[in-house]
Amino acid sequence: MFSSGCATILKQKSVDVAINTQPAGANVFLDGNRVGVTPLVLNLSHKRPVFLSFKKDGYEDMSHKIDNHIVPGWIVTSFICDAFPAIIDLATESAFSLNETNVCVTLEPKSNCAQVDKVVK
């Protein structure tokens, strides 16, 4: 008989995350790959942290990390179901959740002043 973890049955493996920047219109990169322009919604896996980068002409490049965590109560409910299904939950994204579902990054304008290494007297 095939067995699944409790969280595998009850929980979605991904979540929609709203991505916004101030100002809007920044290119968004997920793990180095361009995925769109803000504002946008990305469907992201719970299994691992997510690394986002933002680029917009005239603004400093920015980055943002969305951490993940083991879902509270997962250990208790998984072992109530049985140890083997608990291992299945860990192997899939089902035991994890992302810490954020709404990201808003404020982009900083690039400075118009050139940096000077030496002051001439």
- Tokens in use for 86? 């608990």
What confidence score (pLDDT) does residue 4 get? 42
pTM of the model: 0.68
- Min mean pLDDT across 4-8, 34-38, 92-96 is at 4-8
Q: Please give the single-letter amino acid code of residue 101.
A: T
What confidence score (pLDDT) does residue 1 get? 36
**Percentage of residues in the chain having pLDDT higher than 90:** 40
Q: What is the mean pLDDT of residues 42-71?
A: 88
Angle at 95 between CA 105 and CA 74, to 5 degrees: 115
Query: Domain residue spans in the chain?
Result: 6-106
Look at phi and psi of residue 118 and say left if phi exceeds 0, alpha if psi is from -120 to 50, else beta: beta
**pLDDT, tens digit, for every residue of 62-102?**
999 988 866 665 455 555 555 545 455 455 555 667 777 88
- What is the C-alpha separation between 107 and 120, in angstroms, rounded? 33
Bridge partners, residue 20, by sequence: 104
Q: Which of 85, 76, 87, 98 is nearest to 9 (CA)?
A: 85
What confidence score (pLDDT) does residue 42 get? 94
